Structure formats: structure tokens, C-alpha cells
Amino acid sequence: MRVLSLTLPLLLLLWGGCGGCDKNPPAGPGVPELAKLIQLQGQVTVQQDAASRPGRVDEPLYPGETVVTGPGSTAHVRYVNGTEVEVAENSRFRVNGAPGALTLELEEGRIVSTSPKTGGNGLTVTGRFGRAELVTASEMVFDLREKNPKLMLQYGDIRVLDPQGQPVPVVVGEELALSLSKPKQAPPPVVAEEIVFTLKPQGGKARVRGAQDSAFADVAPGQSRELGRGAAFELPANSSARLSSRLLQVSLAGDTAGTLEEASRQGDQSSYTLRLSRGRARLQFGTGKQSLKLADARGEVELKVSEQSTLSVSNPEAGATVTVLAGQAELVADGKTTLLKAGEGVRRASESPRVEQASAPLLVLPPEAKGARVFTDGLGEAGISVPSASGAPLRVEVAEEPSFREPLLAGRAGADWVRVEPPARGELHWRFLGEDGNVRAQGSARFQPDRGRSALAGSNPKAEVLETGLKATIYFQSAVPSLHFSFEPRPGARSYQLRIYRAANVQTPLLQQVTTQNQYSLEPGTLGEGSYLWYVAALGPGGDELAGGRMNKLELVYDNERSGLALSRPRPGERFGREGVPVEGVVPRGSRLFLNGQAMKLDAKGRFSLRLPPTEALVFRLVSGQDEAYWIRTLRKARP
């Protein structure tokens, strides 16, 4: 074996040879396919920035995507020019370049690269060993499993370049070990590179002002604007936007304003300074060393992140509240460093800021809910239960669409639940991934306003009852209707007496009413659900009963045809006092209803009625067959 001692600057050749590895465009229209997974065995994942997914056979690979194999797992990749790559276990490499100038960046592990016998434009492989160009039909082994990289040319011809660009001789069949432990000269200084963000409105418009601009300019939906150092942004109350770079996505809520004071990358460290004057933001960090200085009304704090994490920032006007939604972060303030884990946060507006465990959201959805519906008129946050896991914590990803191409939240999940900010109208999809990248649980929910659809109508409908001698059946749902009886006028009659009997007792009238008209109306609730008989007697001038008239049948039937929850109490925004909260309503027959996690007792027709202790919120969960829906009713305290 020949050992070649190369200087440490050879490491820098990796970056020069990558030729723009930091610019990783997402797969989509206009982005070329570079390679394809043609075989895999065991645990193989594909990563792109903050997102990851299990690998699949015949799955295309795009610029910037990284293939990772786990223990005892292998993969086989074919580039578009025919070059094939065999990937050993515990390996990691990134595809990049473009058709005609393909590259492979080996980060760890072992691969065997075989150029096509005929045709093709070769492949450039980079790694800790430097740069290798496969320009003819050849087969090369690249092994980074030990401290010193090893190369072996099986056949053909390749070019390996040292840090000065001089060729390194490689002999067929001989293993070449490269020693990087004895640098001959100091590496050149790493120059900071400015990071440019892109702002895209998600709903409504945004307003931006560059560092050199004198006034704000509108950015309409469907447009985008690049923002550099010193750029300011403003969002109206009914808008939202996303501020994106390769490793940091900032989701801005309505009525948010701030300035991107600095964003740069030096080596493997990315640094940002973000000043928020008002509003709310969600920070999603990709994998890598990152530091964000957050300026608010109380001054400046620094957030250090080294893994995929998502944080929320709110209330910067008084002193920001910083909460870790997934992953973890170090918060540096007043010379003190505090580690925040998922579900923990710090309120800087308090007199003595300290780490606090966030309280459970009002609504917590099960991890495997399938298309659950949520009706609410003002739910600021919700939660997703974390499934139990053995071993390492699960990773969670939340997105608005099932492809998870643009996650809203990603990182290590906490122990109990994950907090999310649901849309007023729209979908959320989530999945929990194991350490191997395989999906352990996934679910979805659709959120939409209630807007009174769950309120049971308080007004009573009107029902006509005619004298036919036949049976009249009146169906009702929300309230017993008012009954309007009509009958034929009788010759010589001065008045009429309406008599109503219970069907089970025709001897004693339940109700007798006299009217001078050939019609009579009963107020709502005079009669309840049940079977009745009714008769109209014509009365002469002296009050004597005239001949004629017919006995008629009447039945009032409660008919539950609702497809969801119906509440008569409490009404939306209803005030409650010390006497508690009345809860009354109805659900479809055959359903199960839970209130604040407790099963509700229903009658045979799905009705319920009870009184709860004073509370400001009610969460109803309705299970009908395979369907599951939630209603949230918020209340107000009675004025003192």
C-alpha cells in the first residue's frame, strides 16, 4: 500500500469542487433529474434541507438531495449519464451538478462508482480525499470509513488532484491511502458569505423596503422579493408570508413587522440578526450550526441551534416569548446560556424570565387521526399527541399538504404533544418518524369556521294541522313547533270548541279552547312529543253543540336528521357565572360524544342535557362510525 501525505487544505478542495453545493433548488418545474434510486435494502432515506423521506425504488434524485443508508443497509444509484454507484451501509452522499457536469459529494461511508463502458460524460466525486474525475470507462472505490481516506482503481483511468491542482498518480489494483494529518501550510481564511432571503406572501400582500430604499413597496400574492442585509418588512393584519433561505424558514403572521439586520455564512456556521417590532413568527431551522440574534423591546438574545428545530416567537413589543415547538435550542441572554427543549419556553416580558413548560393546548388531536374535522371560530393553537416510542425520540413533520415538501414544523418531538398553529380554514398533515426515517404514525385534520352551524335553532317552526279525519304526523328537530289547526266552517255555528286528547285517554280532554274562527293556533311547547286525538265541536247561538265533526289523529315525532353536533346551550360567546354552564344539544343517533375528554350520556335520540362547573372553553368530540369531528365553544365570564 502506498501512503501519500497531503496537506489539510486538501479538505478545502471539496468545496471548490462542489461548485455551488450550497444552492439546492427544490424539485419542481425546470429542476433536472440527476439520478435515480434503482435498488435499496434496509433503511435508506433521502434528505433535502429540513425535510426527509424514506427512499423508494425508481425514485428520482434532484440537485442537493442527500442519500443516507443505515446499519446493514445498501443502495444502488444510477446517474442520468449511465454512471452507477453502489452504496455501502452507514454511508452518506449528496448528488449535485447538472446533466453534462454531474457531481457526487461523499460525506461518509464507502461507495463504488462505475462509469459506463460507452458514452456518458463521466462523474466528478469529491470528499475528504479531494477531487476525482472519472472521465473514461472505469471503476473506483472510495472509502471514508477510517481517519485517512482510501482509494482503489479497479480498472480504467481517473484523475485525482491534490490541493495545488497537480495530478496524483493512481495505479490499477493498488490501494491508495491519503494522510491528512500533517498540513504543510495554514489554510486560507474563510470569507463570510452573505445570505439572501426570499419573501413570498402566503395570504394577502406584504410590504418591503430594501436597505437603500426610501419607501416601502407592495409585494402581491404570487410574487416574491429578495431581501438582504438591512431590509425591512411589514404585513397587514389579514396577511401572512414566508421568509426563506436554504437553512432557515421564517413564517410571518399577520400584523408583523421587523428588519433582517444581518445574514451570513462563514464555513459551516450560519448567522442571522432579526429585529421584530411587533407580531408573531415561526422559525424553522434546518440541520447545521446556526445562530440567530433576536432583537425585541427588551434588547437582544441569541438562539443557537445545531439540529433540525422549530421555534415560535411572539409578543416582541413587550419582550418576546420564545418557545421550542420541536428540536432544541440554546438561549443566551445576560451572559447565561439556557437549553430549551421541545415544549419549553421563556417569557422575556416577565420580571424574572425562566424556563417554563408550555401548558397543553385546548385541543389535542390523536397522532393517527384520519381526516378529522375541526369547527372553531378562534382556535389560536392546537396540539398533536406524540405516539409512544422506544429508544430515541421521534421526529415530527407538519405541513399543509400530504407531500411534506414544504414543512411548517420539523424536528425532534417532545414527550407528550406537539403544538401547532392551525389555519382558520385549511388542512394540516403530520407524521412521526423514527431514527431510521421510517414513518411510525401519521394523520391529518381539516379546520374550518363554525360560524353558528352548530347552534341549535331556538325559534319554533310552524306546522299546519288540517281536519281530514286521517292521521297527521309532525316531525321536528330543534324545537317543538307551534301548531295551527284549520277546520271547515259549520252552518249555524257561532263558535267552535277545540278538544285535544292523549291517544291513551279519550275520556278526559287534555286541552279545550273556544274560538269564533274556523282555525286556532297553539303556542310552541303546549304539546310535547307523543300521540294525540283532536276534535272540533261546532257551538250554536246558545252554546249548544251542533251535530257533525270528525275525530282526527295527530302525532308529534322528534326526528334527528342532523349530520353533526347541535348545541342549544351554551350559545357562542355566552357568559357564565358561579352557577356554572348549561350544556344542551343533540347529535346524530348512533354517535358517541365526548366533552372535555369525558364521555357524554345520550338518550335514545341523541339528546343530552347537563350543567358543568364554570369554565371558559368546551371541546366536543363527536365519533360517528369512522368519522371524527371536534367543536370548540369558547365562553366569557359574567360581568361582576
Q: What's the average model confidence in pLDDT over 610-617?
A: 89
Q: Is pLDDT of 152 > 70?
A: yes
Position 511 scores a pLDDT of: 93
Name the pLDDT band for 358 (thresholds 50, 70, 90).
confident
Mean pLDDT of 55-75: 94
Could you tell me the pLDDT band of residue 28, with boundaries at 50, 70 and 90? low
DSSP state of 577: B
Q: Per-residue pLDDT for 630 more than 80?
A: yes
**Residues 80-130: pLDDT tens digits?**
988 999 999 999 999 998 887 889 999 999 999 988 765 545 788 998 888
- Residue in the structure block whose three cell numbers are 472505469: 138
Q: Each residue of 420-454: pLDDT tens digit?
A: 999 888 999 999 999 888 999 999 999 998 876 67
**566-637 shares the fold of 462-558:** yes
Per-residue pLDDT band at 531 (split at 50, 70, 90): very high
CATH match for 193-357 among 3.40.50.300, 3.40.50.10490, 2.60.120.1440, 1.10.10.10: 2.60.120.1440
Query: What pLDDT does 15 receive?
Result: 36
Phi/psi of residue 574, nearest 5 degrees: -60, 145
User: Residue 25: pLDDT above 60?
Assistant: no
pLDDT tens-digit map of 175-214: 888 776 554 555 667 678 999 999 999 889 999 999 989 9
* pLDDT at 16 (0 to 100): 38
The answer, yes or no, to whether the previous bond of 570 is cis (omega within 30 of 0) is yes
Burial level of 334, CB count in 10 A (0-12/13-18/19+)? exposed
Give residue 640's pLDDT.
66
Q: What is the pLDDT of residue 187?
A: 62
pLDDT tens, position by position, 550-585: 899 999 877 655 667 888 888 877 888 888 899 998
pLDDT of residue 29: 62
The residue type of 538 is A
Task: Please tell me what DSSP assigns to residue 297.
Answer: T
Query: Percentage of the chain with pLDDT > 70?
Result: 89
Average pLDDT over residues 468-490: 81
- 462-558: which CATH architecture? Sandwich (2.60)
Angle at 262 between CA 256 and CA 267, to 5 degrees: 130
Q: Which range is least confidently modeled, 31-45, 115-129, 188-202, 590-604?
A: 115-129
Q: Above 80 in pLDDT, residue 487?
A: yes
What is the structure's pLDDT at 399? 95
Instruction: Specify the CATH number of the domain 364-448.
Output: 2.60.40.10
- In this model, does residue 3 exceed pLDDT 70? no
Q: What fold does the segment set 2-179 form as a domain?
A: Jelly Rolls (2.60.120)
Model confidence at 415: pLDDT above 60: yes
Residues 338-353, mean pLDDT to the nearest whole number: 91
| Separation between Cα atoms, residue 588 and residue 590, nearest integer Å | 6
Quick: pLDDT tens for 368-409.
Answer: 998 899 998 777 889 999 998 767 789 999 999 999 998 999
List the beta strands (DSSP E) in 279-363. 280-285, 289-296, 299-305, 309-314, 321-326, 328-333, 336-341, 344-347, 355-357
- For the chain, which residues make up each domain, given as ranges? 2-179, 193-357, 364-448, 462-558, 566-637
Q: What pLDDT shows up at residue 345?
A: 94
The whole-angstrom separation of Cα 471 and Cα 553 is: 4
pTM assigned to the model: 0.58
365, pLDDT greater than 60: yes
Q: Tell me what pLDDT residue 17 has.
A: 39
Cβ partners under 8 Å of residue 401, min gap 6: 427, 429
Instruction: Provide the pLDDT for residue 39.
Output: 94
The pLDDT of residue 76 is above 50: yes
Mean pLDDT over the full length of the chain: 86
- The confidence score (pLDDT) of residue 1 equals 47
Average pLDDT over residues 516-533: 90
pLDDT at 634: 85
Cα-based torsion angle of the residue sequence 86, 92, 94, 95 in order, rounded to the nearest 10 degrees: 10
pLDDT for res 255: 95
Q: Check whether 625 has a pLDDT greater than 90.
A: no
Cβ density class 312-323: b for 16+ within 10 Å, e for less: bbbbbeebbbbb
Asked if residue 350 has pLDDT above 90, the reply is no
- Higher-confidence residue of 596 and 6: namely 596
Which region among 107-111, 156-160, 549-553, 601-605 has the lowest average model confidence (pLDDT)?
156-160
566-637: CATH number: 2.60.40.10
Comparing CA positions, the residue from 486, 487, 494 lying closest to residue 539 is 494
Long-range CB pairs of 332-336, under 8 A, 24+ apart, other chains included: 332/301, 332/302, 332/303, 332/304, 333/301, 333/302
- Beta partners for residue 249, in sequence order: 244, 284
